[in-house]
């Protein structure tokens, strides 16, 4: 079990009691169960994690999830009265109303009643949500969208994930399956997508899409400086083209221009649909941060609808992996 040094301290009253209430957020991933203690003023007090060992029966994973949550409470000198909720974010489909994980890829949860399972270990109320949604909620409470009522978070990783926040709450449709923003077709009959459609935004704007574009351009341009950054195609990453652009390579500039154009097309769609206060970019590609945002804005400003109104801001997400923990801790609010 990893224990990460406290970020913040437990505030005490003059009488020595606890001045604040707390919630626990658990980010259930394929590799680790990461959990954090979060104060009602949205501060991550401390976090710890244990390996998920996803091939075990669901009951064992649930027991470790409860263990790590309860140990965070105990080790910080708190008890059940100080902690108002435990929230769990996990990949896949969640029935948040009933606290049930309907389906999780790579983990053995199938219609698993998490709320009921946790009752064996604690009386603290339990809430569940999707992990991308939880990350968006975390950023909306404590990150780059703090103070915003509406926000859309786009995660640019292996795929393109989406989390929609409306009135400070997750919106995921009547069946919990909404917010699949990466599976919005932007090129009818375009590149095949894992979901079965063709031309999904994800196939162009994910790190996977960027790597594909980079490799194609390198094969067409044996003279490109990109070959210095990635001497073989297997070494191409989501950073290669951006690094090449910064080094002045013209082929890299073409790749980034193409990638940015697809990304801006999808983002402008999101603006025209949602007009949220802010769109946050998270995930691997978004490590390019403000540099990427600045590249996106000319096309977005040229194309977006409603120009004489306050404009949606595009910002890098700021909480990184903590977003999922903090957002999970907010699921009960």
Rounded distance between C-alpha atoms, residue 161 and residue 155, angstroms:
5
Residue 176 or 244 having the CB closest to its own copies: 176
Residue 84 or 269 having the CB closest to its own copies: 269
DSSP string, 231-287: SSGGG--TTHHHHHHHTT-HHHHHHHHHHHHHHHHHHHHHHHHH--SEEEEESSGGG
Q: How far is the CB of 193 from its own copies (least distance, A)?
A: 10
Q: How far is the CB of 150 from its own copies (least distance, A)?
A: 5
Residue 198 or 287 having the CB closest to its own copies: 198
CB 114 within 8 A of CB 62: yes
Strands 110-113 and 100-103: antiparallel
Q: How far is the CB of 220 from its own copies (least distance, A)?
A: 20
Residue 5 or 309 having the CB closest to its own copies: 309
What is the distance, to the nearest Å, from the Cα of residue 79 to the centroid of all Cα atoms in its chain? Answer: 30
Q: How far is the CB of 277 from its own copies (least distance, A)?
A: 5
Q: Rounded to the nearest 5°, which phi and psi values hold at 292?
A: -65, -45
Interaction site with its own copies (CB under 8 A):
93, 102-103, 148-150, 162, 166, 171-181, 183-188, 190, 195-197, 261-262, 265, 268-269, 272-277, 302-303, 305-306, 308-312
From its phi and psi, is residue 14 left (phi > 0), alpha (psi between -120 and 50) or beta?
A: alpha
Q: How far is the CB of 306 from its own copies (least distance, A)?
A: 3
Kind plus residue range of the DSSP H or E element containing 139: helix 131-142
Q: How far is the CB of 2 from its own copies (least distance, A)?
A: 34
CB 242 within 8 A of CB 193: no
Q: What does the angle CA 285 – CA 291 – CA 295 come to, to the nearest 5 degrees?
A: 95
Q: How far is the CB of 310 from its own copies (least distance, A)?
A: 5
Residue 244 or 276 having the CB closest to its own copies: 276
Nearest to 157 by CA among 254, 295, 30, 283: 283
Alpha-carbon torsion 305, 191, 106, 33, what sign?
Answer: negative
List, edge to edge, every strand of the sheet that includes 2-4.
Answer: 2-4, 44-51, 32-39, 22-28, 83-90, 126-130
Residue 25 or 129 having the CB closest to its own copies: 129
Q: How far is the CB of 84 from its own copies (least distance, A)?
A: 24
Residue 44 or 210 having the CB closest to its own copies: 210
Residue 76 or 313 having the CB closest to its own copies: 313
> What letter would DSSP give residue 288?
G
Nearest to 297 by CA among 259, 268, 317: 268
């Amino acid at each position: 079990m990893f224990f990460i040094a406290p970020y913040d301290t437990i505030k005490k009253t003059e009488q020595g009691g606890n001045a604040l209430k707390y919630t626990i957020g658990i980010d259930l991933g394929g590799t680790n169960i990461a959990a954090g203690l979060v104060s009602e003023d949205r501060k991550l007090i401390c976090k710890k994690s244990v390996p998920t060992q996803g091939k075990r029966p669901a009951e064992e994973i649930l027991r470790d999830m409860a263990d790590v949550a309860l140990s965070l409470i105990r080790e910080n000198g708190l008890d059940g009265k100080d902690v108002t909720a435990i929230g769990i974010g996990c990949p896949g489909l969640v029935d948040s109303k009933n606290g049930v994980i309907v389906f999780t890829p790579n983990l053995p949860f199938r219609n698993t009643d998490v709320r009921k399972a946790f009752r064996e270990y604690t009386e603290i109320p339990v809430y569940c949500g999707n992990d991308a949604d939880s990350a968006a909620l975390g950023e909306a409470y404590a990150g780059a969208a703090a103070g915003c009522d509406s926000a859309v978070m786009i995660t640019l990783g292996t795929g393109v994930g989406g989390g929609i926040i409306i009135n400070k709450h997750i919106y995921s449709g009547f069946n919990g399956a909404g917010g699949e923003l990466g599976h919005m077709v932007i090129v009818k009959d375009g590149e095949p997508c894992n979901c079965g459609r063709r031309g999904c935004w994800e196939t162009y704007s994910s790190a996977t899409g960027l790597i594909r574009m980079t490799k194609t351009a390198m094969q067409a341009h044996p003279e490109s400086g990109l070959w210095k950054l990635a001497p073989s195609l297997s070494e191409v990453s989501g950073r290669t083209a951006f690094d090449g652009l910064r080094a002045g390579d013209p082929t890299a500039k073409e790749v980034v221009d193409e990638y940015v154009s697809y990304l801006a097309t999808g983002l402008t769609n999101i603006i025209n649909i949602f007009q949220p206060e802010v769109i946050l970019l998270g995930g691997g590609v978004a490590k390019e941060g403000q540099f990427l945002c600045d590249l996106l804005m000319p096309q977005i400003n040229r194309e977006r609808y409603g120009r004489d109104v306050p404009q949606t801001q595009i910002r890098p997400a700021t909480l990184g992996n903590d977003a999922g923990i903090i957002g999970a801790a907010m699921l009960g609010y």
